[in-house]
Amino acid sequence: MPSHPVRPTTYVSSALRTSAEWSWRFIVVVAGVVLLVYGLSFVSEVVVPALIAMLVAALLLPVVTALHRLGVPQVLAALLTLLTALAVLAGLVTLVGTQAASGFSDLSASAVQGVDQVERWLKEGPLNLSTTAISDYVAQAQDAVSANRDTIVTGVVGVASTAGHVVAGFFIALFAAFFYLLEGRRIWSWVLHLLPHPARSPLDNAARQSWVTLTHYMRATIVVALVDGAGVAIGAAVLQVPLAVPLGLVVFLGAFIPIVGALLSGAVAVLVALVAHGPVTALVMLAVVILVQQVESHLLQPFLMGRAVAVHPLAVILAVAAGATVFGIVGALFAVPLVAVLKTGIEALARGDDETVEEVAEIDASDAPLAPDTPGETPTTAGRGEPQAHLER
């Protein structure tokens, strides 16, 4: 037989082969995540309230658990806890509305005086503008508003539509939070049954630890937000800045976005102080905001968060920035808890064991929706190791 020359085999280094295998798998995972997020964006009016309800449930579940241990039925405990939270929210809204109604008149008068001072500075200051030039600038601003009237009207209509979505989302979140508090274990057990059998136990363990992390995160965040809001409100009241209580509430809500939230909302308090009492009071208000931020960063965050939800500040900033860029305020709100939960879950899956990490072991396991009712019994160890189809409440 004639001999044929053997072609040399193309050599691919192991490093290049490994990189290629990692690359195409990474591309597939990213594509799957992008498609999932894109699909969920069409039902964001439902998904976002459901996620908010999960945060609320993580915050309120310890109260429900404590009431249930005292002998209160689970349904009644969940209902009482949720109604109490709604009563507190309604009280805050009423207080803020009353304060705003009484403070806006003083603030508007101060704003008029501030505009007069700015106009006088433009005339007598280094710019030395004439009255005619100032009038021309005002006229140009009015013309710009008139030219964009349709855009402004469209924006107002959009705000009204958004308000309707907010109301609908509020009730969706309310009902979802109630059922999370009532039947969280059963819901999670149903979700586990949708997964392949070998993946159930590892994912159940990772989800338990992630839920404990989320619970710890929400506890710490609510305390930090209360301290931030109270500190700014007290500082504004001492300086006699109008709308002290509403400003404290704004800072309280902003504190749910770590690092940047409270700082940006504190800038509103500084701006109000500037309009109401001038630059000296505004500088003092700025010092109050910075002091509150320092107390949060160096005392509250390390003490309350601890190592259980330890996320590097750089990761927090990048997560908030990415979330805000892609999803706006909602993305900034969920960025840090999502990173903390994923961090705990991935570490649990990487270890491949059923032991709770040291950092979260200090937290009572009953805070998790999948916590066992009795020692040694878990939703994933019933019978042949499969999740229980029906769990006792």
Report in angstroms the alpha-carbon separations of 8 from 5, 11, 15, 151: 9, 9, 20, 69
| pLDDT (0 to 100) of residue 183 | 87
pLDDT bucket at 353, cuts 50 / 70 / 90: low
**Phi and psi at residue 167, in whole multiples of 5°?**
-65, -45
Structure tokens at 292: 């509150």
CA distance 191 to 211: 15
- DSSP-derived letter for residue 390 is S
Average of per-residue pLDDT values in the chain: 74
- In DSSP terms, 386 is beta-bridged to 382
Task: State pTM to two decimals.
Answer: 0.67
**Phi and psi at residue 70, in whole multiples of 5°?**
-80, 0
CA distance 333 to 271: 24
| pLDDT (0 to 100) of residue 365 | 41
| pLDDT (0 to 100) of residue 338 | 87
From the CB of residue 138, how many other CB atoms can be counted at a distance below 10 Å? 11
From the CB of residue 41, how many other CB atoms can be counted at a distance below 10 Å? 10
What's the whole-number mean pLDDT along residues 201-216?
88
What's the whole-number mean pLDDT along residues 62-84?
91
| pLDDT (0 to 100) of residue 239 | 86
- Coil vs helix vs strand at 75: helix
What's the whole-number mean pLDDT along residues 319-328?
82
| pLDDT (0 to 100) of residue 119 | 60
| pLDDT (0 to 100) of residue 361 | 40
| pLDDT (0 to 100) of residue 105 | 59
CA distance 281 to 275: 10
The answer to whether 197 and 37 are in contact (CB under 8 A) is no
**Highest mean pLDDT: which of 12-21, 26-35, 161-170?**
26-35
Structure tokens at 334: 């969920």
Q: Which of 309, 253, 315, 310 is nearest to 96 (CA)?
A: 253
pLDDT bucket at 28, cuts 50 / 70 / 90: very high
- Coil vs helix vs strand at 382: strand
**Which range has the worst mean pLDDT, 210-224, 270-284, 303-317?**
303-317
Tokens 């003092």 belong to residue: 284
Structure tokens at 101: 């109604």
CA distance 90 to 27: 47
Q: Measured between alpha carbons, how far apart are the two ends of the chain, in Å?
A: 80
pLDDT of residue 387 exceeding 70: no
The answer to whether 218 and 58 are in contact (CB under 8 A) is yes
pLDDT of residue 5 exceeding 70: no
Sign of CA dihedral 93, 98, 103, 108: positive
| pLDDT (0 to 100) of residue 23 | 92
The answer to whether 348 and 205 are in contact (CB under 8 A) is yes
What's the whole-number mean pLDDT along residues 288-303?
78
pLDDT bucket at 79, cuts 50 / 70 / 90: very high
CA distance 2 to 81: 88
| pLDDT (0 to 100) of residue 82 | 92
pLDDT bucket at 249, cuts 50 / 70 / 90: confident
Per the rule left: phi > 0, alpha: psi between -120 and 50, beta: everything else, 206 is alpha
